[in-house]
């Protein structure tokens, strides 16, 4: 109880601090700006005091980040908070990338945002600086009537069966139907251009896609298909309430390159958003054969899900890498 309240308070502070930081930045811009007529009223002392307090709070939060041995913390910090803050720093990550954040917030208010804004924003998000401060500028928008982008990824990919690693959507729907499980809402993690969501839409299932651009117009592509792109990185808590999703698919982005502990937090977050009886589909997850057996298998096993499908196949003979496609069902009792 006390812990939950403390954590809530911490997160609330972090959220307020992130937003106030931008205000602070803005306030210092206003004070030092020489060009802008008419002269702006000075920032009141009490506001500055407040901002200093918040800065101090951020500094204090930052100290949470690396579990330094020297600090003599009298109150015990929950171990998972320390662990997670190393994977995806809480509140302090914007602070850790002050240069980028300053660059992002360096713009002329009420005018066009600088042309490289979108990539700076994504760089910050990928470094864990999220939510980003709001700005008052006009971002570059596409033409009034966006045409569907040419997407090389066709929906055929989810309809055909070439080997055991495939799970065509008709088969997925059949599996769900045979266990009286209705698929209405899905989440595709790292879903690229939204091809899975587009295919599921044909079957009247709504799928939201988390996707980063990474120099390709993925978010625009998803939107041009009339689907919802969520611009959130893999390390971020899924912006969905507990137990509301029927299906989560993890595609190419979710793989062995994710540090193991980060992957563990991700899988438990997937568990949080899945309803009882919902499905987790690991689609062509890959890793070294020995790791699949000794590391990833047991990790996935911790969720206690029913293995509806579990198929492995060679990815690369040379590296001893295997693919795993698994369809797992969250137990009803959970
Ligand atoms: C999707 O819903 C529409 C409208 O209710 C219906 O006409 C159509 O048959 C449905 N398609 C599938 C594949 O269930």
- Can you name the residues that pair with 112 across neighbouring β-strands? 138
Q: Check whether 105 has a pLDDT greater than 50.
A: yes
Are residues 148 and 225 in contact, defined by beta-carbon separation less than 8 angstroms?
yes
CB atoms within 10 A of CB 46: 8
**208 and 118 in one domain?**
no
Which residue bears the tokens 């912006």?
239
pLDDT at 86: 75
Contacts 24+ apart (CB under 8 A), 61-67: 61/10, 61/13, 61/14, 61/17, 61/90, 61/91, 61/92, 62/91, 62/92, 62/95, 62/96, 64/90, 64/92, 65/89, 65/90, 65/92, 65/96
Question: In whole angstroms, what is the distance from residue 252 CA to residue 65 CA?
Answer: 30
Tokens of 200: 């599921």
With bands split at pLDDT 50, 70 and 90, how would you rate the model's confidence at 85?
confident
SS3 182: coil
Determine which residue's CA is closest to atom 14 belonging to ligand 1: 203
- Nearest atom, ligand 1, residue 202 CA: 13
**φ and ψ at 333, to 5 degrees?**
-75, -15
Tokens of 235: 């390390």
Q: Residues 90, 92, 94, CA angle at the centre, nearest 5°?
A: 110
For residue 236, what are the domain limits? 155-329
With bands split at pLDDT 50, 70 and 90, how would you rate the model's confidence at 153?
low
Determine which residue's CA is closest to atom 10 belonging to ligand 1: 204
Determine which residue's CA is closest to atom 1 belonging to ligand 1: 204
Question: In whole angstroms, what is the distance from residue 92 CA to residue 280 CA?
Answer: 32
Residue 149 falls inside a structural domain: no
Q: With pLDDT > 90 as the criterion, what percentage of the chain qualifies?
A: 55
Residue 138 falls inside a structural domain: no
Question: In whole angstroms, what is the distance from residue 255 CA to residue 32 CA?
Answer: 47
Tell me the average pLDDT across 311-327. Answer: 92
**122 and 160 in one domain?**
no
Cα of 208 vs centre of ligand 1, distance in Å, is 19
**299 and 167 in one domain?**
yes
Cα of 206 vs centre of ligand 1, distance in Å, is 12
Of 253, 246, 244, give the one whose Cα is nearest residue 262: 253
Residue 145 falls inside a structural domain: no
With bands split at pLDDT 50, 70 and 90, how would you rate the model's confidence at 224?
very high
Residue 231 falls inside a structural domain: yes
Residue 38 falls inside a structural domain: no
Q: Check whether 19 has a pLDDT greater than 80.
A: no
Residue 96 falls inside a structural domain: yes
Determine which residue's CA is closest to atom 11 belonging to ligand 1: 203
Cα of 173 vs centre of ligand 1, distance in Å, is 14
Residue 309 falls inside a structural domain: yes
> Taking the model in full, what pTM does it have?
0.73
- Ligand 1 mutation pick, 202, 204, 205, max ligand atoms within 8 A of CB: 204
**213 and 102 in one domain?**
no
pLDDT at 319: 86
Cα of 177 vs centre of ligand 1, distance in Å, is 16
**313 and 181 in one domain?**
yes
What is the secondary structure of 51-69 as a DSSP string?
HHHHHHHHHHHHHHSS--S
Are residues 87 and 261 in contact, defined by beta-carbon separation less than 8 angstroms?
yes
Cα of 167 vs centre of ligand 1, distance in Å, is 22
Question: In whole angstroms, what is the distance from residue 117 CA to residue 106 CA?
Answer: 10
Q: What is the pLDDT of residues 244-277, one digit of tens each?
A: 999 999 998 999 999 999 999 999 999 999 999 9
What is the DSSP secondary structure assignment for residue 160, as one 8-state letter? -
The rounded mean pLDDT for the chain is 82
pLDDT at 42: 63
Cα of 205 vs centre of ligand 1, distance in Å, is 10
pLDDT at 47: 63
**φ and ψ at 301, to 5 degrees?**
-60, -30
Q: Check whether 36 has a pLDDT greater than 60.
A: no
Which residue bears the tokens 């790292």?
190
Tell me the average pLDDT across 78-92. Answer: 74
Total count of domains within the chain? 2
Determine which residue's CA is closest to atom 4 belonging to ligand 1: 204
Cα of 114 vs centre of ligand 1, distance in Å, is 44
**185 and 94 in one domain?**
no
pLDDT at 57: 63
- Nearest atom, ligand 1, residue 204 CA: 1
Determine which residue's CA is closest to atom 6 belonging to ligand 1: 204
Cα of 203 vs centre of ligand 1, distance in Å, is 7
| CATH code, domain with 243 | 3.40.50.150
Q: Check whether 77 has a pLDDT greater than 90.
A: no
Q: Kindly state the greatest CA–CA separation across the chain.
A: 70
Pocket of ligand 1 (CB under 6 A): 203-204
Q: With pLDDT > 70 as the criterion, what percentage of the chain qualifies?
A: 72
């Amino acid at each position: 109880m006390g812990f939950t309240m403390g954590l809530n308070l911490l997160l609330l502070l972090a959220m307020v601090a992130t937003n106030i930081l931008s205000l602070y930045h803005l306030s210092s811009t206003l004070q030092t700006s020489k060009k802008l007529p008419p002269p702006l009223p000075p920032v009141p002392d009490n506001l500055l005091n407040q901002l200093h307090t918040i800065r101090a709070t951020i500094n204090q939060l930052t100290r949470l980040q690396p579990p330094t041995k020297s600090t003599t913390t009298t109150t015990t910090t929950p171990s998972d908070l320390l662990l997670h803050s190393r994977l995806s720093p809480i509140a302090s990550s914007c602070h850790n990338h002050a240069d980028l954040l300053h660059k992002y917030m360096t713009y002329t208010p009420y005018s066009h945002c600088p042309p490289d804004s979108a990539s700076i924003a994504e760089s910050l998000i990928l470094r864990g600086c999220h939510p980003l401060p709001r700005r008052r500028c006009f971002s570059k928008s596409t033409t009034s009537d966006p045409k569907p982008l040419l997407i090389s990824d066709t929906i055929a990919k989810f309809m055909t069966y070439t080997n055991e690693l495939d799970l065509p959507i008709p088969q997925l729907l059949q599996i769900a139907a045979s266990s009286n499980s209705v698929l209405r809402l899905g989440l595709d993690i790292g879903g690229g251009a939204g091809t899975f969501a587009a295919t599921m839409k044909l079957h009247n299932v709504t799928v939201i896609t988390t996707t980063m651009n990474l120099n390709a117009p993925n978010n625009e592509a998803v939107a041009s298909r009339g689907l919802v792109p969520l611009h959130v990185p893999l390390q971020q808590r899924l912006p969905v309430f507990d137990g509301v999703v029927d299906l989560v698919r993890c595609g190419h982005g979710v793989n062995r390159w994710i540090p193991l502990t980060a992957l563990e937090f991700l899988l438990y977050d997937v568990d949080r958003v899945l309803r009882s009886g919902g499905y987790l589909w690991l689609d062509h997850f890959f890793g070294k054969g020995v790791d699949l057996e000794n590391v990833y298998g047991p990790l996935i096993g911790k969720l206690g899900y029913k293995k509806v499908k579990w198929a492995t196949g060679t990815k690369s003979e040379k590296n001893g890498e295997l693919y795993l496609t698994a369809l797992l069902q969250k137990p009803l009792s959970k």
